[in-house]
Homo-oligomer: A and B are copies of this chain.
Amino acid sequence: PLPADEAVRLSRAANDAAAAAVTRHPTRFRALSTLPMSAPGHAAEELARAAARGHVGTMVYGRSGDRLLDDPAYDDLFAAAAELGQPVFIHPQIPSDALRDASYRGFDQLTDLGLATFGWGWHLDAATAALRLILRGTFDRHPALQIVLGHWGEMLLFWLDRADSLSRIAGLQRSVSDYVRTNFHITVSGMLNPALLQHALSVTTVDRLIFSTDYPFQHPTGEQISRFLDNFETEEDRRKFSSANAAALFGIEV
């Protein structure tokens, strides 16, 4: 991770640049802020500064160096995000070297990398970060906090039967799946698979699902998107998924 002072300086510069782009193209762009996660004491402050400049949320990784996202050092950040209504998008990240050594090596270099990232490891890592955030009691302390996960909620959405068994032993007020239903929004990152939609609708509601591509990696054609939208039962659900949920979550007038 970046040295703290450099992280603060670069986050400000990135957020100012993004705010300027949004100002120039208000009908095309909105920005999620970049935070100095290696300087936890300054993250809430930069979140607030970027929010005041029009940023509609923030995007973080599940780990900064050795510090996991559920580290108590970030609790002020989550408090600020809840209070300011700034959703926190947890973006997948390459797993730590220790994790790669333990689980993702032993093939050729490219397969090792694919296994640790886009084919598998990224998603376990983001899902584990989200689950740890729940187990840490984050949503008991900050019930208004909203998290966004890409890729259909990473793997978390598919494993709630088991993850729910952790609710009580972690001393949570509610079940893991209950936090997922009330404190998480899910984007699809271009994975237009009706089976994943169907499963998502079995654990959360259509109000929580948000269309997204993953440009330039996943960019379905207009026809593929239209065909996928046919899987929604009503025009209203299609509208929620396509734009209304995102507009409501990020406070965007469309």
Contact = CB atoms under 8 A, between A and B. Distances in A.
Contacts of A99: 99, 102-103
A198 interface: yes
Contacts of A70: 106
A179 interface: no
Interface string A20-53: 0000000000000000000000000000000000
Interface of A: 68, 70-71, 95-96, 98-99, 101-103, 106-107, 110-111, 114-115, 118-120, 123-124, 128, 131-132, 135-136, 151, 155, 158-159, 161-163, 165-166, 169-170, 191, 193, 195-196, 198-199, 202-203
B166 A120 contact: yes
Contacts of A102: 95-96, 98-99, 102
A110 B169 contact: yes
A180 to B, nearest CB: 13
Q: Secondary structure of the A side of the interface?
A: helix
Nearest to A98: B102
Contacts of A106: 68, 70-71, 132
B169 A162 contact: no
A136 B102 CA distance: 16
A166 B136 contact: no
A107 B135 contact: yes
Contacts of A71: 106
A158 B199 contact: yes
A120 B114 contact: no
A144 B24 CA distance: 61
Contact of A158 (B114, B131, B155, B162): B155
23 contacts: A68-B106, A96-B102, A98-B98, A99-B99, A99-B102, A106-B132, A107-B136, A107-B170, A110-B169, A111-B135, A111-B166, A111-B169, A114-B165, A114-B169, A114-B170, A115-B166, A118-B162, A120-B166, A123-B162, A124-B155, A158-B159, A195-B199, A198-B198
